[in-house]
Each structure stands twice: as C-alpha cells, then as structure tokens.
Chain A
Amino acid sequence: DVKVTQSSRYLVKRTGEKVFLECVQDMDHENMFWYRQDPGLGLRLIYFSYDVKMKEKGDIPEGYSVSREKKERFSLILESASTNQTSMYLCASSPTGGLVEQYFGPGTRLTVT
C-alpha cells in the first residue's frame, strides 16, 4: 500500500513564525504536491515537484516555498505565517504517467493565531 505521511495532524503557530510542513511517501513516486483545502474552495494547488530539486508553482504559491532534497520528502514552508494561511494542508504523490491517481496524506490542520 502506498503511504503518504505528514509530520503533524494539528499545528498552531503565531503570526510571523516560520512554519515547516513535512511530507514523506514510501512508494518511490516521482511527483509530489502540496494543496490547501478551504471550505467552499475545494483543493487548491500550492506547489508541486516532478523530480528531486525541481519545483513548479501551482495556483496559489504566494507566501509559500517548497523544498525537495530527497525523492521521498517534500516540504512546504510558510516563510512568515499569516492568519489567512489557516487551513487544511494536504500532501500528495503520484508516479509519472498519464491517467494516474494521486495518493494523499491525512492532512495537517494549521491554525495561525
């Protein structure tokens, strides 16, 4: 079974703090993704990576950065957390290919106060 794990299920941070969200997958997938889910807005892509050290902006990259130093690990960084970044953050991975599904982690509920 593919397993995608995220470092925390719940996180509370203060405005202005630097926040690291970690994601690890164990299936040797090339592609990894970070999304945020907000009520009424669905899943919005923040960043994705199709290879080690490669990254591409998604639809809402502002205020975020990412790091992929190893194939299995994809980190999302909030350089200076703000209250509007309070959200559910979901990591996903998928193999390279055409019609392939993404495998999601359980999510991190981040609250910025």
Chain B
Amino acid sequence: DQQVKQNSPSLSVQEGRISILNCDYTNSMFDYFLWYKKYPAEGPTFLISISSIKDKNEDGRFTVFLNKSAKHLSLHIVPSQPGDSAVYFCEAGGRGSTLGRLYFGRGTQLTVWP
C-alpha cells in the first residue's frame, strides 16, 4: 500500500513556463518531505525539503508547498528549463518512526521542451 503517491507519471512543459509536480501522502505522522531529481544512469540528487512546521520553502527557481490538512505537497519550478528534464521523486518520513520508514513516490518524468 503506497503511503506516498505521485499520481502523474509524466509532465510536459514548455521552456520558461511553470512546472508543478504533485505528491500526496496518507500517513499523518509524516512530518518532513524531500524532493529529489534523477537523470538517467545517475543516482537521485537532493533538491529541496520542507518540514511540517512550514508551508512553503523556496530555493531559487524551486519552491515546495505543503498542505498538511490535505496531505499534499507540490514542487514548483519557475521558470522551467530544458536541463530540468528528469524524474522527480517525492520522499516522506516521520520523526517518530524508525529510520527505515522513509517512503518514496514512484516519480514523475518531467520533460521541458524548447
């Protein structure tokens, strides 16, 4: 049973526009969330994180929004660039849980076209 869901397996966006990647979770004990980016034939790399005490975190072109009541978070990329084309994974965990209970979504393939 998936505790972290990324319901859109793919997203296609034109360069310069906004990309919005979504993630839903079911476990109310989750209190920190991370996004990773993965290029083909490479390991994922950390992108941005947010804890449950905040509802927004921004880092350059990347902003993560957290809606705790809806158990939903989203990653906004503005403006999108062709180099952003990658698979994006959402990860969730809870401070009260054992380390192993870090859950990844299945990923969303973002394609940014010129």
Binding site for B on A (CB under 8 A): 4, 9, 31, 35, 40-45, 48, 50, 56-58, 90, 92, 98-99, 101-107, 109
Q: Do B99 and A102 touch across chains, with their CB atoms under 8 A apart?
A: no
Task: Pick from B34, B51, B106: contact of A101, CB below 8 A.
Answer: B34
Which residues of B lie under 8 Å from residue A4 when comparing CB positions? Answer: 43
Contact-size category for B: 20 to 34
Q: Do A45 and B98 touch across chains, with their CB atoms under 8 A apart?
A: no
A-B CB pair tally, cutoff 8 Å: 59
**Chain B interface main SS type:** loop
Task: Pick from B32, B43, B102, B107: contact of A45, CB below 8 A.
Answer: B102
Q: Do A104 and B45 touch across chains, with their CB atoms under 8 A apart?
A: yes
Which residues of A lie under 8 Å from residue B107 when comparing CB positions? Answer: 42-43
Q: 5 tightest CB-CB pairs across the interface, nearest first?
A: A104-B43, A42-B106, A101-B46, A43-B104, A99-B32
Q: Which of B90-114 contact A (CB under 8 A)?
A: 95, 98-100, 102, 104-107
Q: Do B89 and A43 touch across chains, with their CB atoms under 8 A apart?
A: yes
Q: Do A105 and B43 touch across chains, with their CB atoms under 8 A apart?
A: yes
Which residues of B lie under 8 Å from residue A104 when comparing CB positions? Answer: 36, 43-45
Which residues of B lie under 8 Å from residue A109 when comparing CB positions? Answer: 41
Is B16 an interface position by the 8 A CB rule? no
Which residues of B lie under 8 Å from residue A43 when comparing CB positions? Answer: 44, 89, 104, 107
Task: Pick from B41, B98, B106: contact of A106, CB below 8 A.
Answer: B41
Which residues of B lie under 8 Å from residue A102 when comparing CB positions? Answer: 44, 46, 102
Is B79 an interface position by the 8 A CB rule? no
Query: CA–CA, A104 to B46, complex, Å?
Result: 9
